[in-house]
């Protein structure tokens, strides 16, 4: 299938990724735009991993107060340069993350932020639930790992399905931003306030 300039332009507008990369992804996907987006996301994720080691010392603190004024969020999102920190898309990213925190009430940024004793307690609870199942120990451990993944989705911001598009996780939103702006970007910390809690 011939990849037209219009197809490349459309994909670039949808993803924010460079023309050549869009063209290559469309060629690889046989002209299927959705498949090309998946290919680009995978490549973007690889680039995001490369950039994860770079220092992210700039950024912004964003806030969100829910319309009922009973829930409020402060979130710090870091990037590498003040140029990106001042960009409207970065500000929008910070705002969307703050809104997600207000709606989904995560407790931690990522799994690595959960204290070891809480993870062990969760594993013990899952094992206790499975103790009468008569399954082999290695199968039980696989089930524990799977259920732990679900636990992370409940309590970790980066692992939660994004409220505006639940086919993607919050970490995917950040990876897409990194792929577009070519800068390490990460959520440093957040606090969520709720009246009466």
Domain ranges of the chain: 5-51, 58-109+156-194, 115-154
The ranges of the chain with pLDDT < 70 are 13, 15-18, 44-55
Tens of pLDDT along 72-129?
Answer: 999 999 998 889 999 999 999 999 999 999 999 999 999 999 999 999 999 888 888 8
The C-alpha atoms of residue 178 and residue 51 are separated, in whole angstroms, by 8
For residue 186, report the phi and psi dihedrals to the nearest 5 degrees. -155, 155
Q: Are 157 and 108 in contact (CB under 8 A)?
A: yes
Residue 109 has a pLDDT of 96
Residue 21 has a pLDDT of 78
CATH of 5-51, one of 2.60.120.10, 1.10.8.10, 3.40.50.1820, 1.10.10.10: 1.10.8.10
Residue 64 has a pLDDT of 95
Residue 49 has a pLDDT of 53
Residue 136 has a pLDDT of 82
Helix (H) or strand (E) holding 144: helix 137-155
DSSP characters for 35-82?
HHHHHHHHHHHHHHHHHTTS---EEEEEEEE-TTSSEEEEEEEEES-H
Residue 9 has a pLDDT of 82
Token pair 């220092």 is at which residue? 55
Q: Tell me how crowded residue 147 is: count the other CB atoms within 10 A of its CB.
A: 17
Residue 44 has a pLDDT of 64
Q: Are 76 and 188 in contact (CB under 8 A)?
A: yes
Per CATH, the architecture of 58-109+156-194 is what?
2-Layer Sandwich (3.30)
């Amino acid at each position: 299938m011939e990849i037209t300039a219009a197809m490349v332009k459309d994909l670039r507008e949808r993803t924010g990724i460079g023309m050549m990369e869009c063209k290559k992804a469309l060629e690889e996907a046989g002209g299927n735009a959705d498949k090309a987006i998946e290919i680009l996301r995978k490549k973007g994720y690889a680039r995001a991993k490369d950039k994860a080691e770079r220092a992210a010392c700039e950024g912004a603190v964003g806030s969100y107060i829910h319309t009922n004024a009973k829930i409020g969020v402060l979130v710090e999102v870091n990037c590498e340069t003040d140029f990106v920190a001042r960009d409207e898309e970065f500000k929008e990213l910070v705002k969307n993350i703050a809104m997600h925190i207000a709606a989904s009430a995560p407790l931690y940024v990522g799994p690595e932020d959960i204290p070891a004793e809480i993870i062990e307690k969760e594993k013990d609870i899952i094992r206790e639930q499975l103790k009468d199942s008569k399954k082999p120990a290695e199968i039980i451990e696989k089930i524990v790992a799977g259920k732990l993944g679900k636990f992370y989705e409940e309590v970790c911001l980066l692992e939660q399905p994004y409220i505006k598009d639940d086919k993607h996780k919050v970490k995917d939103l950040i990876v897409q931003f990194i792929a577009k702006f070519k800068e390490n970007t990460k959520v440093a910390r957040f606090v969520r306030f709720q009246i009466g809690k």
